[in-house]
Amino acid sequence: MNRVRTIDEQTDFRYLDGIRQGDHSSFTELYRKYFQGLVLASDKYVKEIDVAKEIVQDVFLKMWEHAFELDHVVSLKSYLYRTVINASLNHLKREKNINQHHLKIADEVTYDSIDDVQAEQELKILIFKEIENLPGQCKKVFKMSRFDGLKYREIAVLLEISEKTVENHMVRALKILREKLYDKDSKDNSYKLKIFHLLFASAPGLISLEKFI
C-alpha cells in the first residue's frame, strides 16, 4: 500500500510536475524552498560554503535535466538531501581530502541519517531566523558578541553604552530565543539546545541557555 503524501510533499511534486513541463517558476519556487538548507547540509561535509553552493546548484540543474526520471522518488525533500550529501562525499573523494571518518560516513549514510541532517539544518535556519527577529539594539549586541566575537567591554565602547547594558541585552536575547525555541511539552529540547551550543560554542563568554529553562 502506497504511503499517503503529506501536504508539503504534494506541493513539492506539483513543482516537479511543473519542472517536467518546462515551467521555470516551479523550478524557482523549489530552489528557493530548499537551497539554504541544502547548502548547510553540504557544508557540513565539504567545509567550504562556496563549494557547497556549487554542489547544490549542480544537483538542481541535474534535477531540471532529468525530472522525468524521478518517478521512483517518494519524498522529493529526502531525495534532494540524499543527493546533495552523496555529491558532497563524492567531491571529497575526488579532492582526495577524505579521511577514514568520512569514508565511514559514506558507507553508513542511511535514510535515518539523512533525516537527522535535514532536521539539523532546518533547526539552524530557524535559530538564525529568530536571531534576525530580535529587537534592533538587542540583535546588534547579540551579533557583535556571538558572530564577531567581541567582548562586552568592546561592544560597550563601540555602541557607547555601559557593559551592564550590553549584558542586559544578551540576557534578553537569550530569553527571547529560549521562548521561541523551547517547548515545555516537547521531547526535542535537548537536541535544540545541543544545536544552539554547536552554533555558538566558539563564541567567548556564552551565557548558557539552560539557565533560562
Q: What is the DSSP string of 188-199?
A: -HHHHHHHHHHH
Assess contact for 142 and 131: CB atoms under 8 A: yes
Q: What's the CA gap between 66 and 70, in Å, rounded?
A: 7
Q: Among 100, 127, 99, 102, which residue's Cα sits nearest to residue 191? A: 127
Tell me the DSSP string of 74-115. Answer: S-HHHHHHHHHHHHHHHHHHHTT---HHHHHHHHH--HHHHH
In 3D space, the residue among 108, 106, 101, 125 whose CA is nearest the CA of residue 195 turns out to be 125
> Crossing angle, helix 111-132 and helix 24-46, to 10 degrees?
100
Q: Which domains does the chain possess?
A: 7-113 (1.10.1740.10), 133-212 (1.10.10)
Per-residue pLDDT 10s for the chain (213 aa) are 466 777 878 888 888 888 888 888 888 998 988 898 899 888 888 888 889 999 999 999 888 888 888 877 888 888 899 899 989 988 888 776 445 555 555 555 555 555 666 666 777 777 788 888 888 889 889 888 877 778 888 888 888 889 899 999 888 888 887 777 765 455 555 555 555 555 554 344 443 333 333
* pTM for this predicted structure: 0.51
